[in-house]
Amino acid sequence: MTEQIDKALAREYEAGFVSDVESETFEPGLDENVIRRISEMKGEPEWMLEWRLSAFREWLEMEEPEWALVDYPKIDFQSISYYSAPKSMKDKPKSLDEVDPELLRTYEKLGIPLIEQQMLAGIAVDAVFDSVSVVTTFREKLEEAGVIFCPISEALHKYPDLVKKYIGSVVPKKDNYYAALNCAVFTDGSFVYIPKGTRCPMELSTYFRINEQNTGQFERTLIIADEGSHVSYLEGCTAPQRDENQLHAAVVELVAMDNAEIKYSTVQNWYPGDENGKGGIYNFVTKRGICHTNAKISWTQVETGSSVTWKYPSCILKGDNSVGEFYSVALTRGRQQADTGTKMIHIGKNTKSTIISKGISAGRSNNSYRGLVRMNPGAEGARNFTQCDSLLIGDQCGAHTFPYVESRNPSAIIEHEATTSKVSDEQMFLCRQRGLDPEKAVSMIVNGFCKEVFKELPMEFAVEAGKLLEISLEGSVG
């Protein structure tokens, strides 16, 4: 039976192609000069360069974290190129007609048409290719609502005060090793500002694509939801199939002001490496949001790619009555390793957090949930509910749970539930006895296991997530 399941899971990596685009790529290596050059390429203000340099100096003093349950050879930071951009992007195309058609074709092949007429109606897309944003769609329509959605490199020119005020305010420069590195060398990413009382009229989405060899992608996303506003943001990512490992170290900061709500969804499908663990993306990401009074931040992630994942989208529940949510599906197979989870820091009174984590391990992979729930002394009446479920497929994989709980307020309530189960012979037999082939049976069982998380995803992404797990969600339930 294990063989059948392996076959069912061994899907092709459809995003593994390379685009033939002439790029301008820095020589590998990292020093202050490289950082100056990045800053210069982007035409950044002086304060930004200084900020980068100070982060770099901090980073030099820091140690690579080793506490995660992942194993990979030491990264040689001098062998990575820190900037790569298609040459055609140098002239800053003003409209889609001026964008290199090969770039547009790349996104089309990935199922993300960038021509507005062909796009799904309700979604605006920022397409980031290696170190630059290629195009951001529906900007005019968003501007009518007062919503700012643009590459962060552009926001530095147009809205320097907003960027300066909030960048590094949620994830400090020296928060951790990879965050500090990102501060020093980040190249592009999305910037979002939703004005007071505004409900963003469309879903916002950023699609990250790594194309060039030997480059790292260091993107930076900053989302600010002003008082009483609401936004739903989606993020997708893919990379070519290569034998070498590539580093992706991103930082995402969310700011939810009083009564604001941010829903942040990720479908992570970086190249996972082959069945023997050769190649693949190292996905070392810091994502954190801060909630002010009555605000709510909801993280939903479907992690299926990357050879190594190290990622803990977190919420700082600073304001009273604020709410943090984390819904996660992490699927590992082959030799993939994932150490992922969340941190919920309860500071305000009556703050509430919910954590639903579903880990699926197959092949010879390792899948860990690592989560911290902290109730600070002032978190009167705070509540947390955590549910951590692991599904094992086959007998050579590992599932691990590392819950950390710190409560310094006696009125706080913390609940933790955990289960581990297997796709059983009985379940497979029932499905096949009713006429389902083994592939359909596995994907259906896995899909059922993930249902609580999938229902949190925006419709379009739920479909994509389903497909990623080889699941057809179409039409079955009326």
Q: Report the nearest approach of other proteins to the CB of residue 380 (Å).
A: 36
Comparing CB distances to other proteins, the nearer of 117 and 433 is 433
Residue 81 DSSP code = B
**Shortest approach of other proteins to residue 440 CB, angstroms?**
7
Alpha-carbon distances of 218 from 66, 188, 288, 359, 459, rounded to whole Å:
21, 7, 16, 26, 28
- Contacts of 281 by beta carbon, 8 Å cutoff, 6+ apart: 210, 239, 245, 246, 247, 248, 270, 271, 272, 305, 306, 307
CA–CA dist 166, 253 (Å, integer): 9
| DSSP category for residue 350 | T
Total Cβ atoms within 10 A of residue 472: 13
DSSP letters spanning 285-311: EEEEEEE-TT-EEEEEEEE---SEEEE
Residue 234 CB, shortest distance to other proteins, in Å, is 23
Binding of residue 463 to other proteins (CB under 8 A): no
CB of 357 to other proteins, least distance (A): 15
- Please state the closest distance from residue 417 (CB atom) to other proteins, in A: 14
Which residues within the stretch 241-300 sit at the binding site for other proteins (CB under 8 A)? none
171 versus 445: smaller Cβ distance to other proteins: 445
C-beta of 80 vs 329, nearer to other proteins: 329
Q: How far is the CB of 469 from other proteins (least distance, A)?
A: 13
Provide, rounded to whole angstroms, the least separation between the CB of residue 473 and other proteins: 9
CB 437, min distance to other proteins, A? 5
Based on CB atoms, which residue is closest to other proteins, 321 or 427? 427
**Could you say whether residue 445 binds other proteins (CB under 8 A)?**
yes
Given 6, 175, 452, 464, the residue binding other proteins (CB under 8 A): 452
Nearest approach, Cβ of residue 457 and other proteins (Å): 15
Return d(Cα 113, Cα 333) in angstroms, integer.
Answer: 30
Nearer to other proteins among residue 196 and residue 432 (C-beta): 432
CA 336 vs CA 39, 44, 294, 308, 403: distances in Å: 35, 38, 38, 6, 21
User: Who contacts 187 (Cβ-Cβ below 8 Å, separation ≥6)?
Assistant: 38, 42, 82, 83, 130, 131, 132, 153, 217, 218, 219
Does 118 help bind other proteins (rule: CB under 8 A)? Answer: no
User: What stretches of 10-109 adopt beta strand conformation (E)?
Assistant: 23-25, 84-86
- Give the distance between the most distant pair of CA atoms in the chain: 68
Stretch that binds other proteins, among 148-156, 244-252, 333-341, 469-477 (CB under 8 A): 469-477
Q: Which residue, 275 or 437, is less far from other proteins as judged by CB?
A: 437
Give whichever of 33 and 433 is closer to other proteins, judged by the CB atom. Answer: 433
Shortest Å distance, C-beta 330 to other proteins? 16
Looking only at residues 383 through 442 of this chain, which bind other proteins when binding is defined by CB under 8 A?
A: 424-438, 440
CB atoms under 10 Å from CB of 444, counted, come to 18
Measured distance CA(232)–CA(203) in Å, rounded: 5
User: Interface with other proteins includes 449 (CB under 8 A)?
Assistant: yes
Query: 213 vs 427, which CB is nearer to other proteins?
Result: 427
Binding mask 205-234 for other proteins (x = CB under 8 A): ------------------------------
Three-class SS state of 327: strand
**Shortest Cβ distance from residue 1 to other proteins (Å)?**
6
The answer to whether 388 and 369 have CB atoms below 8 angstroms apart is: yes
DSSP state of 89: G
Residue placing its CB nearer to other proteins in the complex, 185 or 330 = 330
Among residues 1, 53, 62, 75, the one that binds other proteins under rule CB under 8 A? 1
How many CB atoms lie under 10 A from the CB of residue 394?
19
Choose the binding region for other proteins from 28-36, 80-88, 171-179, 448-456 (rule: CB under 8 A): 448-456
450 belongs to the binding site for other proteins (CB under 8 A): yes
Cβ closest to other proteins, residue 321 vs residue 387: 387
Cβ closest to other proteins, residue 349 vs residue 358: 358
Per CB under 8 A, the segment of 25-33, 96-104, 307-315, 450-458 that binds other proteins is 450-458
Residue among 240 and 466 whose Cβ is closer to other proteins = 466
- What is the number of H-type helices and E-type strands within the chain? 11, 23
Taking CB under 8 A as the criterion, the residue among 85, 447, 461, 468 binding other proteins is: 447
Residue 355 Cβ vs other proteins, minimum distance, rounded to whole Å: 18
DSSP 29: -
From 65, 115, 448, 459, residue interacting with other proteins (rule: CB under 8 A): 448
Contacts of 283 (CB under 8 A, 6+ apart): 248, 268, 270, 305, 306, 308, 309, 310, 311
Residue 225 has φ and ψ, to the nearest 5°, of -105, 110
Applying CB under 8 A, the residues found at the interface with other proteins are 1, 424-438, 440, 444-445, 447-452, 475-478
